[in-house]
Amino acid sequence: MSTNKSSSKKRKRDASPSSTLTFELSSSKQTKGGPFLVNYPVVKAPEKTAFNCYANKKQKTSGDAEDERQNDILLAGETETVEFMTNEDETYRVAQGGCHYFIALHNKKTGKVAVLPQSTSPHILVHTVKALKSIAPAPAPSKTQFREAKNALGETFGTKKAKAAIRAQERNHVDVGAMEGVMGYVMDSIDKGAEGLMTTEEAKVASDTNRLIPPFSTEATSPDDIYPLYSIIPEAEWKALSISALDSTKNEKERLALLPYRYSEWLRQHLRNSGTAESPKTRKRNLKILLYISAMLAFRQATSRKEINKDQIYEKLAPLPSIVADSLLSRFTEVARGSTSYQSTSTTKTNLLTHIFALCLKVDQFATDTEMLAQDLSMKTAEVNQLFRSLGCKMVKLGDRERTRLGLSDESAEKKRAVLTAPVEFPKPRLRRKT
């Protein structure tokens, strides 16, 4: 008989019921009697260890019914040497972690796997050695003991760099016990040395006085009163300014020709819109401010050199009264000791710019486009924004109501402007991070 023929007549083995698994949902409900999942983080109990479940009477303030059912149960078991108990805190933390399990029972005869309908989370067990229960726990080491032990390890096994750091730390360590007898003398010397220091209010007044901005009022309830007009333009100069020549012009080109400084897009736009003011009084006021801003810009251009020629400044500001040139020279330049020549410093330049920006805010109804001014002044927009912040402004986007009040188009909705509100709040100095 051939091998192929004999193998074809062999009886094939029938598939056992357990080779194919069939899953089904069990109709029985999980009760407080079990089954439970447990986790042994350290010591595992023998398989024949008996466990009992106990109801926890603690009141739960949150959680659904299923979580409460799990948290109400404590599992406890013991062997001859070790006791096992549910760690409530760890079990609750694991349950809140979002990972739950379904318990299934496998019947080998039928090949069916019955899955209990309720999910469960494992109980995290802790163990206690019975022989060690009567021994009191060792007290926690103090900071001094911990530091000494750490330094001993570093001196024995540390690198040269670590040993040097340990010795440096020991040299810088202050013995508090040795200072007990001299603390009174130290405190007396500190109080004596602090007698000449300024108080918080005095320091604030000194800081406000040294700000490179026009004189201001912290109690003003209106933005127009924060920087009074006569604190930027002295009253004598304000009365000496005349806008009759500007009123007699017919077009924008003739108006620009009457200004000391003509290369500013911001001035050009405001001169173009000067006829749409709310009232003749407001229009006259704004034209005077624009005329003075033009004079300050011309003065800034004339004093940009190291050597300031006084005659050139008078010539540059010739359309205006000579009192304006004299005032700008006295307020925004310095005269070195033993010299009669004027010079411009970083302090005077910053002070001049903040005075210009304060006037711009008054014309713009306290919402100024800083990008346009930065282009006119050949400065970075961030630098101009920082100067406006020193005036108490905030860089924000205007809402629909504010744009309507200022007559701005919807295209400017995404542009930030320097906005001044009352009462004024100056930026706080930045604290350096500890290194």
Q: Are residues 254 and 393 in the same domain?
A: yes
Q: Is residue 197 part of a domain?
A: no
Q: Are residues 304 and 273 in the same domain?
A: yes
Q: Is residue 374 part of a domain?
A: yes
Residue 307 CA, distance from chain mean position:
45
Query: For residue 391, is pLDDT > 80?
Result: yes
| Predicted local confidence at residue 3, as pLDDT | 47
| Predicted local confidence at residue 356, as pLDDT | 95
Q: Is residue 205 part of a domain?
A: no
Q: Are residues 276 and 411 in the same domain?
A: yes
Mean pLDDT score of the chain: 82
The region of weakest confidence among 16-30, 156-170, 371-385 is 16-30
**Report field, pTM of the whole predicted structure over 0.75:** no
Confidence of residue 130 (pLDDT cuts 50, 70, 90): confident
Q: Is residue 338 part of a domain?
A: yes
Q: Is residue 162 part of a domain?
A: yes
Domain of 104 in residue numbering reads as: 21-26+34-45+72-132
Q: Are residues 156 and 125 in the same domain?
A: no
Q: Is residue 426 part of a domain?
A: no
Q: Are residues 100 and 242 in the same domain?
A: no
Q: Are residues 126 and 162 in the same domain?
A: no
| Predicted local confidence at residue 296, as pLDDT | 94
| Predicted local confidence at residue 9, as pLDDT | 54
Confidence of residue 2 (pLDDT cuts 50, 70, 90): very low
How many domains does the chain contain in total?
3
- Of the ranges 111-115, 248-252, 273-277, 327-331, the best mean pLDDT one: 327-331
Q: Are residues 125 and 223 in the same domain?
A: no
Q: Are residues 153 and 277 in the same domain?
A: no
Confidence of residue 30 (pLDDT cuts 50, 70, 90): low
Q: Are residues 128 and 148 in the same domain?
A: no
Query: For residue 374, is pLDDT > 90?
Result: yes
Looking at this protein, which amino acid is placed at residue 114?
A: A
| Predicted local confidence at residue 235, as pLDDT | 93
Q: Are residues 247 and 371 in the same domain?
A: yes
Q: Are residues 150 and 228 in the same domain?
A: no
Percent share of the chain, pLDDT over 90: 26
What is the crossing angle of helices 346-363 and 381-390, to 10°?
A: 80
Average pLDDT over residues 208-222: 87
Q: Are residues 219 and 92 in the same domain?
A: no
| Predicted local confidence at residue 18, as pLDDT | 47
Q: Is residue 367 part of a domain?
A: yes
Average pLDDT over residues 168-197: 76
